[in-house]
Structure 1
Amino acid sequence: MRNLDITTLRSFVAVADNGGVTRAAGFLHLTQSAVSMQLKRLEELLGLELLDRSGRRIALTASGEQLLVYARKMVALNDEVIGRLTNQAFEGEIVLGVPHDIVYPAIPRVLQQFNIAYPRVKVQLISSFTVALKEQFSKGECDLVLTTESSETAESETLASRPLCWIGAPDGTAWRQRPLRLAFGRACTFRPKVITALDQAGIPWEMAVETDSDRTIEATVSADLAVNTMIDGAEPPHLTQIDHSGGLPDLPTQKINLYGADTTGSQIVSELAEFVRRAFREVSTPISVKNRNAA
């Protein structure tokens, strides 16, 4: 197994860029003989002539031209790795606030990929309701916040627009019952919109569960004791969108907004914001309904 040495490749790139060993040695703060020795070892390792020394000015051979493309990439990747792992600008802690109902599927992917890219940065995830998260952001308790709102604000950036959907238990029948039994959080911003839609459609309803616990709502809906609403594509795998065939009213579109991306001035916070943007772009098209209940 033969392994290329980054130091040797860096010297080779410097010679190519500076047109000779003497200038490259000055650029690298090495002696001319040290650079020449590194080039010789590189040629011996590959069994190829990389430099054409026949003229007054050193030129690259065909093999040298080909190696130069790879050498630039390898040196750049080496420097990027070192910079990411040792630069103090890429360490610390970021507080990210996300509403309960849009944590999946994007946020776990964001946390995983960001940790790989910036292992010295700790991301503290806070999951709550939009109203509470905006309040925490205004107090400086969160660096970045995602929200679900009816419209974009002057301080926010809209990442996606998706409709609200009726959510129930797989093969459930709770959506057929009247009055319709609902399970909602006390601070849920979807709740008044859903109630308005039901009232306008003339569908009687009752609040079966009113809680601050997202788990309580999911357990109740999973047991087919009530229904809930979520943004299209954000439902957990143990719940499903209800194919009501017009038996329930259509619900309005919600915007997923991002706060804090351009206000902190922190490079690492901006990097996390870009990971969040990318994740929501990848799932920006509403996910088609899967495993819907039979009408």
Structure 2
Amino acid sequence: MMRNLDIGVLRSFVAVAETGGVTRAAGLLNLTQSAVSMQLKRLEEVLGLAVLERSGRGVALTGAGEQLLGYARRMVETNDEAFSRLTHKAFEGEIVLGVPLDIVNPVIPQVLRRFATDFPRVKVQLLSLYTDMLKDMLARGACDLILTTEARADAGAETLREVPLRWVGAPGGSAARSRPLRLGYCRHCTFRRGDIARLDAAGIPWEMAVESDSDRTIEATVSADLAVTTMLEGTEPGHLECLPPGTLPDLGVQKINLYRNPTATPEVADALCELLRQGYGGL
């Protein structure tokens, strides 16, 4: 039958091992000497092993005690971390994270899952909006952290990754060869102005085939081979494909930038920032 080790007993064992004596450990733990001695006796009874060698000069670890010490330290540390995270007021409340829709998957669900494990009492409010809208909300203090997709990094930004911007069309489609080139964009798309400027510079005539507030409407139009659009490489859905290089003007790269509200709760914001760095850095 599986037996359980008591965290309080392990804490006393670690203290005795680190201080070299029951008396000093008792003072450190604010317990009586007899209480610590009883805990050590109970530990050896549960294990069926001697973990300490007692002598007139103090105590020393047995071979089994040396092996147990590493486990005991980790168990006590894990216990203390869990208790702190679940009860400390600094780890309560809400944090508002803004992310453009095109870079939500696959990173953000993984980040939120890990964050919820570490901070179960902190609610994350996820906002999915365009970069310009998110930057405006951050400036007004309505967001704690935002990610953006933009060609440059403004003051206060931390660039997590650079991703090529690509022309996207229907698989095997012909819309990219039409002239004027038929385009499909959301009204607030961050990429739109720069993409059109590149077409103008290359002397390629164009017309707006569809303009919508819905990304799904744009995807459906492009999938029907009625227009082309632009997306970050790797974010295009399965029913669309990136056009071969050279088909249309090169669009360069976009930066995935992280911005932080200085008033955000430091411990919580620090942890979420680190998870975002790991997530987007590992793409």
TM over 0.5: yes
- CA displacement, residues 107-163 of structure 1 (integer Å, 9 cap, x when unaligned): 121112111221111111111111111111100011111111211222211111121
Q: How does 1:1-295 map to 2 (within 5 A)?
A: 1-242=2-243, 244-260=244-260, 264=264, 266-283=266-283
Q: Are the counterparts in 2 of residues 14 and 24 from structure 1 also a CA contact under 8 Å?
A: yes
Q: Contact 2:100–2:148 (CA<8 Å) still a contact in 1?
A: yes
- Give 1:30 shift: 1.9
TM-score by length of 1: 0.89
Q: Say which SS state the counterpart of residue 53 (structure 1) adopts.
A: strand
TM superposition shift of 1:90: 0.9
**Contact 2:143–2:261 (Cα < 8 Å) also in 1:** no
Compute the displacement of 1:175 (Å).
2.5
CA, structure 1 residues 239+81, in 2 after alignment: closer, same or farther (shift >3 Å)? farther
Question: 1:261 Cα shift?
Answer: 6.1
**Count of matched residue positions in the alignment of Structure 1 and Structure 2:** 282
Structure 2 residue runs of 5 or longer lacking an equivalent are: none
Paired letter, 1:221 = V
Inter-partner Cα distance in structure 2 for 1:237 and 1:65: 56
How far apart in 1 are the matches of 2:171 and 2:7?
Answer: 56
Q: Quote how far apart the aligned CAs of 1:209 are.
A: 1.3
User: What is the deviation of 1:201?
Assistant: 2.7
Structure 1 pair 169–113 and aligned structure 2 pair: CA distance change class (3 A): farther
Q: Whole-Å Cα distance in 2 between the matches of residues 128 and 206 of structure 1?
A: 25
Shift of 1:245: 4.8
Aligned partners of 1:272, 1:171: CA distance in 2, in Å?
Answer: 41
User: Is the Cα contact below 8 Å between 1:104 and 1:236 reproduced in 2?
Assistant: no
Query: The residue matched to 2:164 in structure 1 has which SS?
Result: strand
Q: Secondary structure at the match of 2:220?
A: helix
Identity within the alignment, %: 63
TM-align CA RMSD: 1.8
Structure 1: gaps of 5 or more residues: 284-295
**3-state secondary structure, aligned to 1:248:** coil
Deviating more after overlay: 116-125 vs 55-64: 55-64
Tell whether the 8 Å contact from 1:166 to 1:227 is kept in structure 2 after alignment: yes
2: CA distance, partners of 1:75 / 1:231: 46
Q: Are 2:144 and 2:263, in contact at CA under 8 Å, matched by a contact in 1?
A: no
1:35 and 1:240 mapped to 2: Cα distance? 68
Distance 1:149 1:59, change over 3 A: same
Residue 220 of structure 1 deviates from its aligned partner by 2.1
